[in-house]
Structures are given as C-alpha cells and as structure tokens.
Amino acid sequence: MSCSQETGTDGLIDGGEDLKATTAKSSNAKKVAKSIYGRLSNFADPNQPEEDLLICNPEIYGFPLTRNIISGRMTHLGKLQMGVSDPDTGERISGCFGVPVSCEINTETFRQLITVYEVTYVAANGDEFRTIEQVTINFPNDVEGGIDYTTGTFGGTEGFEHAIEIVGGTGRFNGANGYMDFMNAQFGPDGSTWELVGEIVY
C-alpha cells in the first residue's frame, strides 16, 4: 500500500497563507474545486479511557482500535492544530482527531482490518473540515510465532472510488465537499505517517 511519489508541494503546505484574510474574502465567494495535499502523522491518544476503545468484529479476538491524535500540515489549512484531550476524563478538547467507528477483521488471513474513521482536520485559525475515511489496515510482516501487528501499511478500502470523503466543516469550510486518497501510508509501534492528495470544494 506504500507508493513512492514525488509531489513537489512543500511550498504549498509550508507557505504563509493568510487564513484570516482568506476566510474574509471567501465568505461570499462562489465555491470552487481546489487541489489539496497533506503530510501527516498520528499516535494513539494516551488519555482515551479503555472502555472507549473500539473492539473489532468478531469481538471474540479482542482486537482494539484507538482514537488517534493527528498533526501535520495541509494546503488550505496550514499547520494543523494537534488534538488535545482531557487527562482526567479523556474527553476531546480541541484539535485534530481520528476516531474509529467500525472495524471488521479479515478472518481468512487475519492480516487485514476493514475500518471506517471519522476525522476532524482543524486549521491554524480554527476553521475545520470533517471526513469519513474508508481505511484498510494491512499487516504484511511476520515475527517469531506469527503475524506482526505492530507494523504495516494502510490505504483505501476496495470498492470505494476514493478512500476519504469530505463532508462539511466550519468557517470557510462550511459546506465543503471533496475527496482525498492515501500515499506512503505506514505505521509502527509509535504511530503512523502518511500523505493525502485530492480535491476540496469550498
């Protein structure tokens, strides 16, 4: 699932886009399609209560998925606001989170999880957009005694034209729609890294 591709978009995600000015001038503008690119990473939210973990089906195998804190940069958003949760209650306070809402184990191979995540991407100025993400998690590696479930790759789920659907937001992303797909998506014991490419209309 990991594919190498030079994007040449560093300037786009690191540039000094004036988000407040863009918000003001776009509030009455006609919505248009724009390319979108991101370079992101995540790690499991350490404050998530154990009872809130999503257990994949069939639950007999006890395979849990965590809520993830996301950081990175994206065009149109700039530097993302990293997720913050309450250390006492585990409740989400602000920033970017990926929350699993369904998970099915491929019981033929036990090397795939078919999942759906709901994700919130929050821009530097507080505007945000939301997505529904069809994600297949792959475990291609082995360790002594069986499958290595700490490393692997992930990407879109077969049967969907795009992995990610943009489903609205706030501020200048109010009513936003579009799609994104994964590139170079991989994970290890400390978290995941990936890129996103697609199109957003706002």
- List pLDDT tens digits, range 136-147: 999 999 999 999
Q: Say whether pLDDT at 185 is over 70.
A: yes
State the Cα–Cα distance between residues 95 and 194, nearest whole angstrom: 18
List, in sequence order, every beta strand (DSSP E) within 110-190: 112-122, 128-138, 142-143, 146-147, 152-156, 164-169, 177-188
Query: Residue 3: inside a domain, yes or no?
Result: no
Structural domain boundaries, residue 129? 39-201
* Residue environment code for 164-180, b if the CB has 16+ CB neighbours within 10 A, otherwise e: bbbeebbbbbeebbbbb
Query: Residue 12: inside a domain, yes or no?
Result: no
Residue 9's pLDDT is what? 44
Query: Residue 20: inside a domain, yes or no?
Result: no
Query: Residue 33: inside a domain, yes or no?
Result: no
Residue 131: closest CA among 113, 143, 119: 119
Query: Residue 102: inside a domain, yes or no?
Result: yes
Query: Residue 17: inside a domain, yes or no?
Result: no
Peptide bond into 58 cis (omega under 30): yes
Number of domains in the chain: 1
SS3 51: helix
Query: Residue 166: inside a domain, yes or no?
Result: yes
Q: Say whether pLDDT at 21 is over 60.
A: no
pLDDT per residue as tens digits for the range 141-169: 999 999 999 999 999 999 999 999 999 99
Query: Residue 31: inside a domain, yes or no?
Result: no
